[in-house]
Amino acid sequence: MSWKSKRRAAEQQPEEAFEAYGEYQYTYQPQEDQPSSAAAAERARQAHVRRKNHVFFRFLLLLAIVTVGVVVAQQTLFRLETVYVIGNQEKTPQQVVISSGLARGQNMLNIEETDVAKRMAEDHTIIFKGMQKEYPSTIHLYIEERKTVATMQWLGMLYTLDGQGMVMKMENSSILPQGLPVVTGFKASSVTVGQLLGLKDITQMEAYQTVMYELSQQIYADQVSEINLADPENIYLVTLEGVTARLGSAEWMEGKIGAVKTCMGYLRQLGKTDGVLDVADVTDLQNAENEAKYMPED
């Protein structure tokens, strides 16, 4: 309302006058009653409370909707339907999945990699590499199969080993399998299927792992009949031809195995079936012929 409107309204209000003692006359305009400040404050407080309650109930409704949505999604959307196995060679995907404990229809949100790894560890023939979830219903399992690469005899039993020294299988047999070198000289303390070979001298295990790794890398394990690790500083192996190759320590094993492989090609052409091939001083495959020494038997 403008000041002119206020003025006109004031002029229209009735005036009352009285005279005091017959000398002085006063006039005034009666004022309308105004609401008390306490009543106005109360109404404002009630309005604020109503707004707070409205927001709170809206929040509860939204929370209920979200909770129901999550429950429905867990029950219907995130259910395991497909498992892909990557890395298997001899084992079927079904065998790997059984070892993992996964089953169709499981809740994807409740499947933990640590639980799968623990179940897979119960199968000593499988090395669990990892797991990947692909929502809403797929899991990828990454594995590596342990391969039998060598044999050993202990207390009249025949055992097979992988490249890390895991005991793969036990047989009551004295017949050595074809294509696998037999490891001799182990100072074994315990030999249990599904566990790493227990040795009194840990350097024997380190030497074994190094030798078997290079034989595998250079695809020469099937040309070796025996590996002797009685002294990790004086390792030797025997080839299928009957030549003994002295390797020395486990250092520079890549060059040493490469030298044996190269030199045996020459010795095979010469028809050598015995003698000693000393490659203990080989440190560089390019100079292997200069550092390797062959000593025929007398």
89 and 60 part of one domain:
no
Provide the mean pLDDT of the chain.
85
- pLDDT (0 to 100) of residue 283: 82
CATH number at residue 261: 3.40.50.10960
203 and 246 part of one domain:
yes
- Tell me how far apart the alpha carbons of residues 94 and 104 are, in angstroms, rounded to a whole number: 12
- pLDDT (0 to 100) of residue 2: 52
Q: Which tokens hold the place of 290? A: 């200069």
Nearest to 253 by CA among 193, 197, 286, 212: 212
| Tally of domains in the chain | 3
88 and 137 part of one domain:
yes
Inform me whether the pLDDT recorded for 189 exceeds 60. yes
- pLDDT (0 to 100) of residue 75: 62
196 and 120 part of one domain:
no
Q: What is the pLDDT of residues 43-85, one digit of tens each?
A: 777 777 677 677 766 777 787 787 776 666 556 678 999 999 9
**216 assigned to some structural domain:** yes
Q: Which domain holds residue 117?
A: 82-145
Inform me whether the pLDDT recorded for 139 exceeds 70. yes
56 and 111 part of one domain:
no
At 169, which amino acid appears? K
220 and 87 part of one domain:
no
55 and 166 part of one domain:
no
**186 assigned to some structural domain:** yes
Q: Which residue has 């309308």 as its token pair?
A: 32
Q: What is the mean pLDDT of residues 24-40?
A: 58
Q: Which tokens hold the place of 54? A: 């409205």
CB 13 within 8 A of CB 30: yes
Tell which of 76, 98, 130 closes a domain.
76
- pLDDT (0 to 100) of residue 18: 47
Residue 22 CB partners (closer than 8 Å, separation 6+): none
Least confident window among 20-34, 148-162, 213-227:
20-34
**4 assigned to some structural domain:** no
Q: Which tokens hold the place of 242? A: 């009957």
Inform me whether the pLDDT recorded for 192 exceeds 60. yes
93 and 70 part of one domain:
no
Q: What is the mean pLDDT of residues 9-16?
A: 50
158 and 104 part of one domain:
no
What is the pTM (predicted TM-score) of this model? Answer: 0.71
* ∠ Cα 28 29 31 (to 5°): 130
- Mark residue 188 as left, alpha or beta (left: phi above 0; alpha: psi -120 to 50; beta: remaining): beta
Tell which of 145, 161, 188 closes a domain.
145
For 26-64, the DSSP string reads EEE-PPPPPPPHHHHHHHHHHHHHHHHHHHHHHHHHHHH
138 and 173 part of one domain:
no
- Tell me how far apart the alpha carbons of residues 13 and 125 are, in angstroms, rounded to a whole number: 106
